[in-house]
Amino acid sequence: MGARSKKVLQLVSGWEAVELVLKCLVFGIWQLVQIFVKRLWKGHRRKSSKSCPPVELTVVSSIGTHCYIKIMGVKYHYVETGPKSGQTILILGDAPDNSNLWSPTWTNVVRKLSEAGYHIITLDLRGTGGSEGGGRSDLSPPRAIEELSGLMEALGVSENNPAVVIGFGIGGMLSWYLAHCHGRMINKFAVIGAPHPNLYWQYPPSAFCNRVLHFIQWPNFPEQWLAEGELQDGEGRWASSRACDWTGPLNYVRGAAWWRIRPNHRIQSTALLIGARDSAAQLVTSAQHCLTSTLRMVNKPDPSDSELANIILDFLIIKEKPMDGEPRTLVGRMLGAVAGRGRELTAKLVLPPAQA
């Protein structure tokens, strides 16, 4: 663990750790009983892994160049788009799959950012796509952040050449850790559908974690349960996943349960926090860990949502402002005055310090 991470990350210990272990045992056993009863009631037929193709995070070749890199002895796969001379944008997807990351809507976002001169790196998290997997300790926050920061350095990111980080779900959770531990390497970061890590038990780090966080701490059983389609949504998401496709993502979640950000540590990088329309409380509480943040709520915090795509583009691509003296319409002047007043009022608002 880097020196910076040691100052920021805190391991759950003492009675809190004992209480966590006991809860994981009790709730895990209860979840297993529910699964067993449900199988007896409805009957159960194990899904054949032969009939389900491997889940791949990056499947589109037309959007960029597929690359591999070894960081700390671990092989990572990513898709590179745009000129290497541009500012780097690191995109961390959700898991186990995120085929929506290559939906027409998000692909269009990547192309527009590329045309604007950005150098986009769409990374497969460990255990997803073409990246190497890892055990629980390998994917704990200290190790994961050390590898991701090493990846950024290998791609030319530094304090003098900071990057932009965009994270969805579990990738958003890792974006929080990165911004806290290596904030000087990040100019802006956007987190979609991922509360601050210190809110881990109050607001789950990813949608599939709802109501099963304690059970997820168990080995093997959660992978089988998720692969059998217990949490498929109306669109059949994760329908083709296998147990091995869940191991990497779940190990990220398992590791995060034992690590917190030091109380009152605030992120200096400009943040964009996006959540569902019913997640206002989660967004406001998460924003207390940032010095500068913008909160946005959308119908579906997902790469396929065109509303989300426009918000991301507006956040990253700075639009040119009219030059002084440039004639504007009456409506334009009125809107400018209202916007200016809004900025003045916003500047007076100071978020309270983050709670432990």
CATH number at residue 190: 3.40.50.1820
Which of 40-44, 180-184, 230-234, 332-336 has the lowest average pLDDT? 332-336
Residue 356: inside a domain:
no
Residue type, 332: G
Q: In what order do the strands lie in the sheet with 88-92?
A: 65-71, 74-81, 119-123, 88-92, 163-168, 186-192, 270-276, 293-298
Contacts of 300 (CB under 8 A, 6+ apart): 276, 308
Q: CA–CA separation, 295 vs 34, rounded Å?
A: 38
Give the model confidence (pLDDT) of 290-329 as tens digits: 999 999 999 888 888 888 888 999 999 865 444 444 444 4
- Give a yes or no: residue 139 inside a domain: yes
Task: Point out which residues pair with 189 in neighbouring strands.
Answer: 165, 271
Tell me, yes or no, whether 353 lies in a domain. Answer: no
Q: Which residues of 117-147 are buried (b: 16+ CB within 10 A; e: fewer)?
A: ebbbbbbbbbbbbbbbbbebebbbbbbbbbb
Q: Is residue 352 part of a domain?
A: no
**pLDDT value of residue 305:** 87
In a domain, 269, yes or no: yes
Full residue range of the structural domain in which residue 38 is found: 3-347
Question: Of 1-15, 115-129, 267-281, which gets the smallest average pLDDT?
Answer: 1-15
Domains of the chain: total: 1
Domain presence at residue 22: yes
The pLDDT of residue 304 is 84
Tokens of 92: 């961390």
pLDDT higher for 50 or 17? 17
pLDDT digits over 237-295, tens only?
555 677 888 888 899 999 999 999 998 899 999 999 999 988 899 999 999 999 999 99
Q: What is the mean pLDDT of residues 130-140?
A: 90
Residue 249, class by beta-carbon neighbours within 10 Å (0-12 exposed, 13-18 middle, 19+ buried)?
A: buried
Residue 226 lies in a domain: yes
Residue 317 lies in a domain: yes
Percent of the chain at pLDDT above 70? 77
